[in-house]
Amino acid sequence: MLFEMDKVGARLKEVRKDMGLNQEEFALLGKAGRVAQFQYESGQREPKLSYLESLSSNGVDTLYVLFGVRSGEPLTLKVDSLEESILDEAIRFCQESKLQINGQNLLHIARAFKRVANLAKGEGEVGR
């Protein structure tokens, strides 16, 4: 999986509790059901992009949920030279396209990396 789902789930639960919401109320922010919310929080299921986009639209810090880094904090990652080159190109693309670099766009970039990695391992085809 792209993310450590147990950590994503724990952060979803943390954010939900910080907001004073139960699973059903929080699920509504993400346009999901209570069962899906339970599965996301327990790491049984990877959150859908539409769910994360809806949460983000409702003020949830999805960068924190996915990566454990609060929006506005510097993002420090250990990357090798190839990863650094790819990230530099992704950032350049975002800047040239006037695409804001935020948690949602990082998720799109991360999913693209996942598709490429799966292709390199012979597990799929490149596509959207």
Kind and range of the H or E element at 100?
A: none
Write down the pLDDT at residue 82: 62
- The overall average pLDDT reported for the chain is 79
Q: Please state, in angstroms and rounded to a whole number, the distance separating the CA atoms of residues 118 and 31.
A: 29
User: Would you state the structure tokens that stand for residue 119, as one six-digit string?
Assistant: 């292709």
**Could you tell me if 8 and 55 are in contact, meaning their C-beta atoms sit under 8 angstroms apart?**
no
The amino acid at residue 116 is V
Highest mean pLDDT among 46-50, 76-80, 100-104, 110-114: 46-50
Predicted confidence (pLDDT) per residue in 14-63, tens digit: 999 999 999 999 999 999 999 999 999 998 998 998 999 999 999 999 88
Split at pLDDT 50, 70, 90, the class of 4 is: confident
Write down the pLDDT at residue 126: 46
| Section 92-116 average pLDDT | 68
